[in-house]
Amino acid sequence: DWLENASLFIGNDSGVSHLAGYMGIPSIVFYITTDPQKWGALGRNVCWIMAKTEEEAFSKFSSALDTLLNAQSLKKLNGYFFS
């Protein structure tokens, strides 16, 4: 019920990330060792982030959030990958 009512999902590579993507929930998903192009959560509103440091992750998160919010207001996100 909590995921169904979410307006944004932020998480790591997990089953919940895949569910959020499948449900069309705007999502930002972090990947460290897994290749998101092979195993990543799918969905029109999913942004993948690959990062090795906290600084890199934060920088990419800011870009992903801006992209996701802008796309949501324009209704035209079709998957983004920040690596």
* Tens-level pLDDT at each residue, the chain (83 residues): 788 888 889 999 999 999 999 999 989 999 888 888 899 999 888 989 998 888 888 889 988 888 888 876 545 555 555 54
Confirm if 68 and 77 have CB atoms less than 8 A apart: yes
The Cα–Cα gap between 5 and 30 comes to: 21
| 30 part of a folded domain | yes
Per the domain annotation, does 1 fall within a domain?
no
Residue 49 domain flag: yes
In a domain, 15, yes or no: yes
40 is in which domain, residue-wise?
Answer: 9-82
Residue 3 located in a structural domain: no
Count of structural domains within the chain: 1
pTM comes to 0.79
Residues contacting residue 71 through CB under 8 Å, at least 6 positions apart = 45, 77
